[in-house]
Amino acid sequence: MPIKNLNQIQATSIIAEINTDGHSPLKITANDFNIYVAKNGKGHIPSIYLINELIADYFLRLWDLPVADSNLVNIPIALIQAEKLSNNHRIGFYETPCFASRWVENSIDVNDFLVSHNKKTYNKFLNPNDFLRISLFDEWLENDDRKPTNYNLILEPISKKYKIIPIDHAFIFGTMNYRYLDPNGYVPRANDHLMASEMGALIRGQKLINEQVINNEREYFYLCLERCLENFEAIFNQITTFYPLDEDDIQSIKSFIFNHARNQKVFDEYVYRILNG
């Protein structure tokens, strides 16, 4: 499966700063005539937040999960200086390209979506099974920033239904330095698991989870891992073109996410969660 080549585009204007508890990204227009949400790396070297976003973006595609179109975007210093922005947007943060996701028009943040536990609400979702698999993806990459109190999911309206799309992956790998990733230290995330959310309860309540479903999910998981391993080197060749990263860090990531014993525990936790929340 060919992976996409990273492209760098140019911001032409800043529409607004989107105030969040994290990066407070910028809504921008770019020279490809599209609108994006752009996140800087806060001056970190290596650019861990942006590298994490790219890793997750590539892997989500290999898992056949929905993603917003993305690019790297250069935001000229003159644009930053011309705007009244928060401390999240210091000039030095823009010496490297930002990670930018295409703005999804008319989307709804799941945090603002009223979830009621009935079939009518469930039927509004175009891809409810992807919600389950996003929770497995998060468990695999130890995403600290998607949980019942902060879904980091948006709903894109399509033909009177809503497509679930995951966003914001700066805090995967337990927000740890890559060198300290330890596959033997895996611990399930208890009540922070996405399946423990109201939306998780709604979707679990409407799906029949039996042995066949679990076997299908296991086959899917290990197929996705195989795809990610096959493309791992090509993905990091793309990423390190823009964001330098030591080979030791790359190998640490590889050893962490493809450790067989750890991944068995990850899948076991997923099964427990889709059965119990």
Q: Quick check: 1 pLDDT over 70?
A: no
Range of the domain at 16: 8-102
Q: Given this model, what pLDDT does residue 114 score? A: 67
Residue where a domain stops, chosen among 102, 131, 156: 102
- The answer to whether residues 269 and 161 belong to one domain is yes
- The answer to whether residues 149 and 214 belong to one domain is yes
Q: Quick check: 153 pLDDT over 70?
A: yes
φ, ψ of residue 51 to 5 degrees: the values are -60, -45
Is residue 51 in a domain?
yes
Residue where a domain stops, chosen among 102, 117, 152: 102
Residue where a domain stops, chosen among 67, 83, 102: 102
Mean pLDDT of 176-194: 89
- The answer to whether residues 163 and 261 belong to one domain is yes
- The answer to whether residues 93 and 113 belong to one domain is no
- Band of residue 118 on the pLDDT scale cut at 50, 70, 90: confident
Listed range (109-118, 130-139, 169-178, 260-269) with the worst mean pLDDT: 109-118
Task: Supply angle C-alpha 254, 175, 270, rounded to 5.
Answer: 70
- Band of residue 277 on the pLDDT scale cut at 50, 70, 90: confident
Mean pLDDT of 32-41: 97
- The answer to whether residues 77 and 139 belong to one domain is no
- The answer to whether residues 145 and 266 belong to one domain is yes
- The answer to whether residues 142 and 160 belong to one domain is yes
The rounded mean pLDDT for the chain is 94
- The answer to whether residues 96 and 116 belong to one domain is no
- The answer to whether residues 65 and 160 belong to one domain is no
Question: Is-contact 109 154, C-beta < 8 A?
Answer: yes
What percent of the chain is predicted at pLDDT more than 70? 99
Domain tally, the chain: 2
- The answer to whether residues 185 and 269 belong to one domain is yes
Is the pLDDT higher at 115 or at 182?
Answer: 182
Is residue 259 in a domain?
yes
- The answer to whether residues 93 and 116 belong to one domain is no
Is residue 1 in a domain?
no
Is residue 2 in a domain?
no
Is residue 165 in a domain?
yes
Mean pLDDT of 12-32: 92
Is residue 3 in a domain?
no
- The answer to whether residues 117 and 223 belong to one domain is yes
